[in-house]
């Protein structure tokens, strides 16, 4: 796979499929290991920009902690 910036959802999906294929690759200096490292960084950056998880409100946090204590 040619490693390049991820700009579309289709490129993101292709990158995550390739990550699945490479998962479990020994972390050494092999081309596959380097490709996995790069794809993880690229997909992480894409997710941060396009798949943000909103922060909870203070009320939601308080309610969560109350529920955890019960």
Give 31-53 pLDDT, tens digit per residue.
999 999 999 999 999 999 998 88
In this prediction, residue 27 carries a pLDDT of: 83
Burial 20-50 (b: 16+ CB within 10 A, else e): eebeeeeeeeeeeeebbeebeebbeebeeee
Q: Where are the domains of the chain?
A: 9-69
Question: Locate tokens 């203070």: which residue?
Answer: 58
pLDDT tens-digit profile of 2-27?
778 999 999 999 999 999 999 998 88
Q: How confident is the model at residue 1 (pLDDT cuts 50, 70, 90)?
A: low
In this prediction, residue 52 carries a pLDDT of: 86
Reference 36, options 44, 9, 50; nearest CA is 44
Q: How far, in Å, CA of 5 to CA of 39, rounded?
A: 9
| Tokens standing for residue 33 | 């290991």
In this prediction, residue 25 carries a pLDDT of: 87
Can you give the length of the chain in residues? 70
């Amino acid at each position: 796979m040619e490693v390049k910036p991820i700009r579309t959802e289709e490129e993101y999906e292709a990158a995550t499929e390739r990550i699945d294929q490479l998962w479990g690759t020994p972390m050494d200096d092999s081309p596959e290991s380097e490709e996995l490292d790069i794809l993880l960084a690229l997909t992480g950056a894409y997710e941060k920009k396009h798949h943000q998880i909103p922060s909870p409100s203070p009320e939601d946090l308080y309610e969560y902690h109350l529920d955890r204590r019960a």
